[in-house]
Structure 1
Amino acid sequence: MPTAEQAITCLEICHRLSNLLQPVYVFRYDATFKTVYILAGEAETIEILVYSNGNWRFVL
């Protein structure tokens, strides 16, 4: 189950992506690593990991 900080960060990221008219294709919680993975963008090139403390980073 995602933490409250993680849930808020995910909501903010998805809101920003939608404001930029970027589709979100995958939104998945990984219980093993306790991270949320977001795949977005017209060409599916935006990959983001959100950690349990609410910090996030782009996957390169």
Structure 2
Amino acid sequence: MFPTAAQASKCYLVCYALTRMYQPIFLVRIDERTGNLFILAGDDIEILIDPDGELIYDDAT
């Protein structure tokens, strides 16, 4: 499964911002069940990007 153009563009911008803040990026993966792109970075940064390129925030944390 490949990311959509919107996901790829947003992923680039997010990864750029993370590395500008000297945060390591450990994992970039697509959830095949939902189609969301998942980024694991830094000590506890988890980012989801939906197929439309929108960031999904987890309000539980």
- The bucket for the TM-score relative to the shorter chain is 0.7 to 0.9
TM superposition shift of 1:9: 0.2
Higher strand share: 1
> What is the Cα-based RMSD across aligned positions, in Å?
1.1
Please give the alpha-carbon distance, in whole angstroms, between the structure 1 residues aligned to 2:57 and 2:12: 16
Unaligned runs of 5+ in 2: none
Please give the alpha-carbon distance, in whole angstroms, between the structure 1 residues aligned to 2:35 and 2:10: 14
Please give the alpha-carbon distance, in whole angstroms, between the structure 2 residues aligned to 1:24 and 1:58: 18
Structure 2 equivalent of residue 15 of structure 1: 16
Q: TM-score, normalised by structure 1?
A: 0.88
Unaligned runs of 5+ in 1: none
TM superposition shift of 1:50: 0.4
> Percent of counterpart pairs with the same letter?
36
Ranges of 4+ aligned residues in structure 1 off by more than 3 Å: none
